[in-house]
Structure 1
Amino acid sequence: MKFPSIFRTNQPRRFQINPRHYDPVREEIDQRTQSIKRELEARGVLESEQKLKEDRGYRHGSSIRGAFTSGSPIKKQPSSVMQSAGLMRTIIFVLLVGGFGGYLYLGPDFFYYVLYLGVSVALLIGLFKLKPKKANE
């Protein structure tokens, strides 16, 4: 049974090999097919695939290709430092360890000190947000 952890552990990398098989018969068939297509396109009997795509309106490829991965929140990088999961875990860890250490060192009065400190910081932030900005800045 795995215990929950706030830190991510590395998993061992797995060896993955994609086998490649060379089939000379298939290779020859593909080459002949390509040469016959080129001859027919040169004669004008067969239209090229690129021209068919342009006639159908597929100039920029399929509109659904990549639509699921582009909207996925997993692939997006955090836009600010505070959205980073690692930083948030570190902040929570430091607060918990600091709170536990402060409680052991000062006793229950530590939480009152933290409450007063938090309220005073919030008031200072509010004061600086209400302060009018200078015209030349």
Structure 2
Amino acid sequence: MKFPSVFRTAAPMRFDIKPRYYDPVREEIEQRTSQIKKDLEAQGLLEKSDGSSHDIGSYGAGIRGSFAQHKGIKEREGVNVFASTAMIRTFIFLLLLGSIFGYVYLGPVIFEYMGYLLALGAAIYFFFRLKPKKKYE
């Protein structure tokens, strides 16, 4: 027995196929005629089709060999190492880990030391970032 509810629960999805008309005799005739056309084209007795016909075997040609030509993920060139999200996450994790262990061992004075280190790191970063690059390197 189901109790009335304000909220609507999700019902399971049902499998529903609406069948199309299928004529196996007609399908076999089309396959035979396309095979005969391919044989005649291979022998040279029939000129090549212009591509407007609906050949059954023409679908696999675009897919065949595409996965074999894949060369993997390309490395990005010229990207700063510190700009990657993994490096930033690692840096934040080490900063938090250092602050926790420093607070346990040294007390609140660790935040002052970490502030000095952070200011020194920022100064070094901006020094190399704003330094003009040489033209002939």
TM-score bracket, shorter-length normalisation: 0.3 to 0.5
The TM-score normalised by the length of structure 2 is 0.41
Q: Which has the higher helix share?
A: 1
Q: Which has the higher contact order (CA 8 A, sep 6+)?
A: 1
Larger Rg over CA atoms: 2
The TM-score normalised by the length of structure 1 is 0.41
